[in-house]
C-alpha cells in the first residue's frame, strides 16, 4: 500500500516558471524524501527532510514539511526542460521502511 499522495498528479508549465508539488501522508513519520524519475530510468534521490525540520534547500529545490498537517511540498524554481520527470515523495516510517507515493508527472514546455 502507498502512504503518500502527491498533488497534482500531473503538472505542465513553461520553462523558467516555478513548479510546486505537494505530498500528503497519513501516519507519523521519521523523515520524508523526494525522488525524481526520468522517463525509463530509475529513481534519483533529491533531498531528505527530517521530521523536526520545517524547510530545506538544495540548489533550485526547496522542500517544506508540516507535520501537523501531515504534508510536504517540493518547489523547483526557474524550471528547465531537464526537470521534466516524475517526482515522488517517500515517507520514512518506523525504523525501517520507506513508502513511496504515486508521484507527480511534471512537464516543462520550452
Partner 1 sequence: EAGVVQSPRYKIIEKKQPVAFWCNPISGHNTLYWYLQNLGQGPELLIRYENEEAVDDSQLPKDRFSAERLKGVDSTLKIQPAELGDSAVYLCASSLHTGPQYEQYFGPGTRLTVT
Chain residues that interact with partner 1, rule: CB under 8 A: 1-2, 4, 30-31, 33, 35, 40-45, 48, 50, 88, 90-103
**CA–CA separation, 30 and 21 (whole Å):** 20
Cβ-based neighbour number of residue 94 at 10 Å? 9
Q: Which is nearer to partner 1, 79 or 91 (CB)?
A: 91
DSSP secondary structure letter of residue 82: G
- Minimum Å gap between C-beta 19 and partner 1 is 18
Q: Which is nearer to partner 1, 2 or 77 (CB)?
A: 2
- Minimum Å gap between C-beta 103 and partner 1 is 5
Q: Which is nearer to partner 1, 18 or 28 (CB)?
A: 28
Q: Which residues pair with 33 in a beta bridge?
A: 48, 90
- Minimum Å gap between C-beta 8 and partner 1 is 13
Q: How far is CA 85 from CA 10, 51, 73, in A?
A: 10, 26, 16
Amino acid at each position: 500500500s502507498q502512504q503518500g499522495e502527491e498533488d497534482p498528479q500531473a503538472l505542465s508549465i513553461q520553462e523558467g516558471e516555478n513548479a510546486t508539488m505537494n505530498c500528503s501522508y497519513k501516519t507519523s513519520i521519521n523523515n520524508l524524501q523526494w525522488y525524481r524519475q526520468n522517463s525509463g530510468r530509475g529513481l534519483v534521490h533529491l533531498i531528505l527532510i527530517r521530521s523536526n525540520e520545517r524547510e530545506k534547500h538544495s540548489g533550485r529545490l526547496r522542500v517544506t514539511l508540516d507535520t501537523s498537517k501531515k504534508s510536504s511540498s517540493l518547489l523547483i524554481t526557474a524550471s528547465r526542460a531537464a526537470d521534466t520527470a516524475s517526482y515522488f515523495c517517500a515517507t520514512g516510517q518506523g525504523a525501517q521502511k520507506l513508502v513511496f507515493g504515486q508521484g507527480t508527472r511534471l512537464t516543462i514546455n520550452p
